[in-house]
Chains A and B, each alone.
Chain A
Amino acid sequence: MHAIIPAYLLARLAASAEPHVATASEAAPATLATPRSYRPLRASTHLPVDGGALVVEASPAPDRVLSDARGGVELPGVRVRGEDDPATGDAAADEAFDGLGATFAFLWDAFERVSLDGAGGSLLATVHYGQRYDNAFWNGERMVFGDGDGEVFTGFTRSLSVIAHELGHGVIESAGGLVYAGQSGALNESIADVFGALAEQHSRGQRADEASWLIGEGIFTDAVEGVALRSMAAPGTAYDDDVLGRDPQPAHMRDFVDTTSDNGGVHINSGIPNRAFHLAATALGGFAWERAGRIWYDALTGGAVKPTADFSAFARVTLDTAAREYGEESEEHAAVRSAWIGVGVMEDVVPA
Chain B
Amino acid sequence: MSYPPDPALHVSVVRTGGIAGIVRCWQVSAGADDAPRWAALISACPWESASPAAPPEGADRFAWELTAELDDEVLRAELADQQLTGPWSTLVDAVRDAQ
**A interface residues with partner B (beta carbon < 8 Å):** 73, 134-141, 152-153, 156, 162, 165-166, 169, 180-181, 188-189, 192, 216, 229-230, 244-245, 248, 261-263, 266-268
**A262 proximity list for chain B (CB < 8 A):** 16-17, 21, 23, 63
Per a CB cutoff under 8 Å, which of B55, B62, B85 touches A135?
A: B62
Whether a CB of chain A sits under 8 angstroms from the CB of B20 is: yes
Q: Tell me, rounded to whole Å, the shortest Cβ–Cβ distance linking B94 to chain A.
A: 14
B40 within 8 A of A: no
Q: How far is the CA of A165 from the CA of B19 in the complex (A)?
A: 9
Q: Are B17 and A169 in contact (CB under 8 A)?
A: no
Q: State which residues 1-54 of B face A: CB under 8 Å.
A: 14, 16-24
Contact A245-B23, Cβ < 8 Å, known A166-B60, A169-B58: yes
- Could you tell me the distance in whole angstroms from the C-beta of B78 to the nearest C-beta in chain A? 9
* Interchain CB contact (< 8 A) of B19 among A135, A244, A245, A248: A135
Q: Would B58 and A137 count as touching, CB distance under 8 A?
A: yes
Q: Measured between alpha carbons, how far is A261 from B81 in the docked complex, in Å? A: 13
Contact (Cβ within 8 A) A261 B16: yes
Chain B interface bracket (under 10, 10 to 19, 20 to 34, 35 or more) = 20 to 34
Q: A139, A152, A230 — which one has the most chain B CB atoms within 10 A of its CB? A: A139
- DSSP class of B's interface residues: helix, strand, loop or mixed? loop
Does the CB pair A229–B19 fall under 8 Å?
Answer: yes
Bound together, the chains give a CA A156 to CA B19 distance in angstroms of: 10
B19 to A216, Cβ gap below 8 A? yes
For residue B57, CB closer than 8 A to chain A, the reply is yes
B87 at interface, CB cutoff 8 A: no
**Most A CB within 10 A of own CB, among B24, B55, B59, B65:** B59
Which residue of A has the minimal Cβ distance to B96? A132
Q: How many A-B residue pairs have CB under 8 A?
A: 81
Given A135-B60, A135-B62, A139-B57: A166 in contact with B19 (beta carbons within 8 A) = yes
Can you add 17 more A-B contacts, CB < 8 Å, to A139-B57, A192-B59?
A134-B18, A135-B20, A136-B19, A140-B57, A140-B58, A141-B58, A162-B19, A165-B19, A180-B59, A181-B55, A188-B59, A216-B20, A229-B22, A244-B22, A244-B24, A262-B21, A267-B17
Interface string of B66-92 (1 = CB under 8 A from A): 000000000000000100010000000
Docked CA distance A169–B59 (Å): 7
Contact A261:B63 (CB < 8 A) given known A137-B58, A139-B57, A140-B57? yes
- Name the CB-closest residue of B to A142: B58
Cα A166 to Cα B20 in complex, Å, equals: 12
The interface residues of chain B lying within 8 Å CB-to-CB of A152 are 22
Smallest CB-CB separation from B78: which chain A residue? A260
Once bound together, how far apart are the Cα atoms of A153 and B59, in whole Å?
A: 19
Roughly how many angstroms separate A157 CA and B3 CA in the complex, as a whole number? 39
Least CB separation from A179: chain B residue? B55
Task: Judge whether A261 and B57 touch: CB under 8 Å.
Answer: no
> Which of B21, B22, B56 touches A180 (beta carbons < 8 Å)?
B56
Instruction: Find chain A residues with CB under 8 A from B56 CB.
Output: 180, 263
Shortest C-beta distance, A183 to chain B (Å), equals 15
B55:A261 contact, CB within 8 angstroms: no
User: Cα distance A181–B56 when bound, in Å?
Assistant: 9
Name the B residues within 8 Å of A229 (CB-CB): 19-22
Instruction: Point out the residues of chain A lying under 8 angstroms from B18, CB to CB.
Output: 134-135, 137, 267
| A6 to B59 Cα, complex, angstroms | 33
